[in-house]
Every structure is written in C-alpha cells, then in structure tokens.
Amino acid sequence: MKPILEHLPRSKEQSFVVCDFEYSYYPTPWHYHPEYEIVLVTESSGKRIIGDRVSDFQRGDLVLIGPDLPHVYRNDDAYYDPLSTLRARSVVVHFLEDSFGVGMLALPEMAAIRSLLKRSRFGLEFSGEANRTISKAMIEIIKLSGFERWMKLIYILDTMASADTGEVRRISTAGMAEHHETDEERLQNVLAYLNAHFREEVDLVTVADLAHMTPSAFSRYFKHRTRKTFSEYLLELRTSHAAHLLIRTEQGVGEICYASGFNNLSNFNRHFKAYYQMPPRQFRKQFIQ
C-alpha cells in the first residue's frame, strides 16, 4: 500500500501551519508530505507507524517527522465504536525550511537546528523534561499569531535541538544508514552493506572485515554505536521490511517471509509477533483495513 501525499494549506499571512485537531478518531491514512511535522498527542491512544517502526502512542506522545517520511496514527479499536464518546486530539505544526526565510538556516547560530532537521529524516521522539517543556510550548503556540508564533516555533526547535541525548530517540531505523559524527565512514559502509544484503545469508566475519575489525571487536563496536547487537539489528531489518511489505503490497505471508530474509515460516511468525505484538496476518488486517 503506497502512502498518499497530504497537504495542509496555509494562508497568505502564514509561513507555516498550526492545527489543533479534534476527531472521534484520527482519520488521516498512511501518508507523507514535503513539510516537517511536529505532532503532540493531547488526547487518545493507539499505535503509530512512522517510517518502518510501529509504536504505541498515548497522551503526551511528541515526535518530529522529517519531510517525505510516511506515517499514520491509528487509534485503539474502542475509538471506532459508533457509540464511543472518546476523542482523539493533537496539536500539529507543519513547516518548511523556507518558513525561516532565505538563508536563515545557514547562519552559524542555527547549526544545532540544522543538525536537528537533518536527523528528523528518521523521525525523532522526545521524552522527559524535553517533552514537558516542548509540549507546553506546543499548547502555547496555538493561541499565538504573527511574529510571536514564528518565534515560538524557533524556540520549540531550539529546545528539541538542545535536548539531552537520553530524552531523544530516533524512531525509524531499518533501511536507513545511521549518522554519527565519528567513525562515520566505517559504520556507513557496514550499514549500507546490511541494508543491501539483509535478505540474504549475512556472515558476521564478512561484515567485520568491512570494518577492518575482528568479529569480537566488531560486535562490541557495533553494539556501542547502534545500541543493538549485530543479530538484533539484522533481525530488526528483516522484520521491519516484512512489515513494509505487509502494509504496501498484497504478497502472501509466506512469500513475504522469504523475501525479507527469513528461511523458516514458523521462525518468521514468532519473531514478527515478538516484535510487533501481533502475528503478520493480524498486523496487515489491523493497519490496512
């Protein structure tokens, strides 16, 4: 299933869009758009797909989604009951780099925000004190207009950019090379190889050779850099790719199993259920329906 292009129109008096949405349930399907998007869930719960990652969301969930990164929010089943009185609310900000004016992002004072926007191509989730501070500003921006609203957006992005590393989590992982300031070329080569070959038999020795390291040293290095073991990362690539195929194609589960690098259907079903808390057929039914 291909994501659709969504557009939130802005008035001539605005350089970006702020919306305070309220629905019985979130209606927007699997979609993408060229704008950056900040989403604060102010009421409701369910599951969200951002890129290749399915996660639970609830009140207070706060994310920054980069341009053209597909995503969808699906509420819990109770929200779709015709007799339900539950509400799904969120504050959403859509903006482009042009929203800051020509050349402003190139200023040295904007270096941290430039880095934040670059990282947002994976989707970023905020927690802890950063979440509380940004959420307060997101509620405030609804009531502002003109220059004050624009300045509040700068404040929100600067707060995101300066958040402690423990309060920022990258959301989407599979199929995208991870960026690091140090050892970038080494890790990029490894991740590019895994992204290209995860559907095949992948040997630890071969991958360690790419990094010019022994297998044991590489295993330590890889876990330090990605916070996952080599086998966990590879399994995540395969499982996330399977989720992509379940969402975007009509291929059978067995075909998707082998197309994602698994060599055993029962193993695939077990790993998929452990990762997404539901078997593949239920996953497809829940999110495509």
6: amino acid identity, one letter: E
13: amino acid identity, one letter: E
DSSP SS3 for 123 = coil
List the alpha helices (DSSP H) in 69-203.
Answer: 111-119, 128-142, 146-161, 184-197
Please say if the pLDDT value at position 175 is more than 50.
Answer: no
- Domains, in order of start, for the chain: 4-170 (2.60.120.10), 184-288 (1.10.10.60)
User: What is the per-residue pLDDT across 45-95, written as a single tens digit (0 to 9) for each?
Assistant: 999 999 888 889 999 999 999 998 999 999 999 999 999 999 999 999 999
User: What is the per-residue pLDDT across 219-250, written as a single tens digit (0 to 9) for each?
Assistant: 988 887 776 889 988 998 899 889 889 988 88
- Residue 121: phi and psi, rounded to 5, are -65, -20
The half-sphere exposure of 118 on its side-chain side, counting CA atoms within 13 A, is: 12
Please say if the pLDDT value at position 270 is more than 50.
Answer: yes
Query: pLDDT category, 180, cuts 50, 70, 90?
Result: very low
pLDDT at res. 183: 54
How far is 110 from 81, CA to CA, in rounded Å?
A: 46
Q: What is the pTM of this model?
A: 0.65
Please say if the pLDDT value at position 176 is more than 80.
Answer: no
How far is 259 from 196, CA to CA, in rounded Å?
A: 13
How far is 16 from 99, CA to CA, in rounded Å?
A: 6
